[in-house]
Amino acid sequence: MSKHNFGDYLLANGEEDSPAVLEARRDFSFADLRRATDIIARVLRDTDLGKGERVAIAGPNSLFWIASYIAIMRSGLVAVPLATNLTETELTRNLDWVGCGTVLIDRRQRRNFL
């Protein structure tokens, strides 16, 4: 079985200037997606998480969400997508339930919990 995943394939084959993520107010190229994925992967490496640990993603569909998902998977971690309409209590309960101590949170979602 190959060690590569769909994220690796996507990042390796998208042309630099081709659109990769289309958001309401902006389009992002594969170069943008690669850059965002690399930044998030560096942050994950700095947290010293062990292989297979769970990392939640809190945020709407966006460049942040896609880059986070790919970075988590490429780092040998397990991505735990969260609904965007969770209350702080529901978020905490879900994180405890799946054994997830790390959350990547979009700045638009962060204001719901801080």
Residues 78-93 have pLDDT tens digits of: 999 998 888 889 988 9
Query: Does 1 score more than 60 pLDDT?
Result: no
Q: Could you read off the pLDDT of 16-56 as tens digits, one per residue?
A: 888 888 888 899 999 999 999 999 999 999 998 999 999 99
Q: Which residue has the higher pLDDT, 92 or 110?
A: 92
| pLDDT at residue 6 is higher than 80 | no
| 50-68 residue pLDDT tens | 999 999 999 889 999 999 9
Handedness of CA 16, 17, 22, 26 (dihedral sign): positive
Which CATH class for the 6-113 domain?
alpha beta
Closest among 80, 2, 83, 74 to 37, alpha carbons compared: 74
Amino acid at 3: K
Cα 83 to Cα 81: distance, rounded to the nearest angstrom: 7
For the chain, give every domain's residue range.
6-113
